[in-house]
Amino acid sequence: MARAARRARPLIGACLWLALAGCAIGPAPLAPSATLPSPSGTPVAPTVTATPTATGSAPTPTLPVNPCLDEAAGLSLRAQVGQLVMVGVGGGLDAAERRAIKANLVGSVVLLGAQDGGVRATRALTRELAGLNPEAALLVAADQEGGLVQRLRGSGFSRIPSAARQAKLADAELRAAARGWGAALGKAGVLLDLAPVADVVPAARKLSNAPIGRLDRGYGSNPAKVTAKTGAVIGGLADAGVAAAVKHFPGLGEVTGNTDHTAGVVDRVTTARSASLQPFRAAAEGGVAAVMVSSATYSRIDGSRQAVFSPKVIGLLRGWGYDGVVISDDLGAAVSLRRVAASDRAVRFLAAGGDLVINADPALTGAMVRGVLRKAKASPDFAEHVTGSAARVLLLKSRLGTYDCG
């Protein structure tokens, strides 16, 4: 049985991290997946060992065993699947959202729409959400990027500038600002920020790039600069005990349409070796808590599948030694998914190597969960992946201090 009622025991090395980062208001500081952020904000690569292959080809990274694996395996299959779903909640908590969370043992929620009540009202909402399914140690997330994409506002939440404006700050200054933004989130009970945006938008595409450039959501067109700025934000949030989900892998900088509103969005430029992947690779190797995968199609990586359904795209992350949580972009309300049956969306994402499904349409939750349950009962290999993904999510919660993996 899950031990969500007890706070997780302190992590080894937490005191050292506190000494480096300084005291933060809110929950205990978060240790990213494999390492801690360095004082400068530069990601520190996780320690992995390489297993030589018989043919002498490039070695495959061997990652540490997840300490939450036994805990995940001890959950019912239904509870494991619930850990892999993040349901969208609008301005409040309506009856449909409540039913979707309780009936499906949902383990995560993302706050959508305008949430203008400030820290106090948001905290009341997150406590109510946590009470719906206490054993799941509900994780609450929000899109708190800044600029036009800031879900949480009101008393206690400062107005966050757009990424384009954040990029003008020195790295240390940006990290300090992100620490403050993270502290407000932590007070409100929101422990996962679906940010920062690591998409590199070429200068020539800024006005034609609907999802990022046109909205000033990106940190620029230079991969090295974007790497530095996203690293500063990830480090600042971690200083405040809040996890980051860097997005939208492998990048939306070369597309025109927005996958939330447009079907058939294709990137015909990005390859597995493109310089624009640098910010994502640095974040992954630095142990960022989560990486969000785009629902666009990348014809020069895998032209036959959208990225969220592509083992090749998600395999790039795993090939870098990343064993954190791979989270999808929205698989519920996004127009780019309309042609895929709701019962197949979560199954295809998980089968491709993903871990946590974002579903902005609570009405589709039951269909998604039933699809995953059917597949897991029919396929031992898929069921094993479900358990492993649940363990990754539980490990993230453990590092946030909301779940005890023993």
From the CB of residue 6, how many other CB atoms can be counted at a distance below 10 Å? Answer: 9
**Which residues does residue 315 pair with via DSSP β-bridges, in sequence order?**
none
- By the 10 Å C-beta count (0-12 exposed, 13-18 middle, 19+ buried), 197 is classed as buried
Q: Measured between alpha carbons, how far is 285 from 129 in angstroms, rounded to an integer?
A: 33
Contacts of 163 (CB under 8 A, 6+ apart): 145, 146, 147, 196, 197, 216, 217, 218, 219, 229
| Owner of token pair 């300490």 | 67
Contact between 34 and 322 (Cβ < 8 Å): no
**Mode of pairing for the β-strands spanning 303-306 and 266-267:** unpaired
- Whether residue 310 contacts residue 272, with contact meaning beta carbons closer than 8 Å, is answered with no
Instruction: Please give the Cα distance from 264 to 23 (Å, whole number).
Output: 47
329 noted as active-site residue: yes
* DSSP 8-state class, residue 29: P
Helices (H), 48-154: 69-73, 77-82, 95-103, 118-132
Could you identify the residue written with the tokens 């952020």?
37
Question: Which one-letter amino acid corresponds to residue 336?
Answer: S
Collapse the DSSP code of 378 into the 3-class scheme (helix H, G, I; strand E, B; otherwise coil) and give the result: helix
Let me know if 143 is a catalytic residue.
Answer: no
From 199, 239, 329, 330, the catalytic residue: 329
The answer to whether the bond into 385 is cis (omega within 30° of 0) is: no
Which residues, 6 or more positions from 389, have their beta carbon under 8 angstroms from its beta carbon? Answer: 83, 84, 350, 354, 355, 356
| Tokens representing residue 303 in the block | 């032209």
Residue 95's φ and ψ, nearest 5 degrees, are -65, -40
Which value, to the nearest 10 degrees, does the dihedral of the CA atoms of residues 82, 88, 89, 91 take? 170
Say if CB 288 and CB 35 are below 8 A apart: no
Bridging pattern class, strands 297-298 and 266-267: parallel
Q: Which residues are catalytic?
A: 261, 329
